Amino acid sequence: MLDDEKRHLIRDKLLRGVLPLTPPHKVYGGKCSRHHPCDGCNEPIGVGEYELETVTAEKVSSFYHLACGHYAAETRGRLLAQHLHTVEQGGFSEQSFS
């Protein structure tokens, strides 16, 4: 379970386009083989910990702790649904899916 601070950080990154808002093209999961930071919460993913790698169609990779990857996917879906809702209400919604 993620704390609120991490959730806020991941949501903010998705909104600012730091993390891709487009659903990943490929997803890999497995044990981490080298120590590196999580693109979601910025905290390290240690060797031997489970991690998730998502790759966009443009070949942009992001690495996550499992919980962070899960939250990012959930938030991405919610943000896209909000845009759809705005458009369905006759509004105009613009989000750069970079």
Is residue 72 close enough to count as binding Zn ion by CB under 5 A?
no
Among 65, 71, 75, 76, binds Zn ion (CB under 5 A): 65
Is residue 40 close enough to count as binding Zn ion by CB under 5 A?
yes
75: its two tokens: 């938030």
Angle between helices 66-88 and 4-16 (to 10 degrees): 50
Stretch that binds Zn ion, among 18-26, 48-56, 61-69, 89-97 (CB under 5 A): 61-69
Among 41, 51, 63, 71, binds Zn ion (CB under 5 A): 41
Residues 6+ apart with CB under 8 A from 61: 53, 54, 55
Is residue 14 close enough to count as binding Zn ion by CB under 5 A?
no
Q: Residue 88: phi, psi to the nearest 5? A: -65, -25
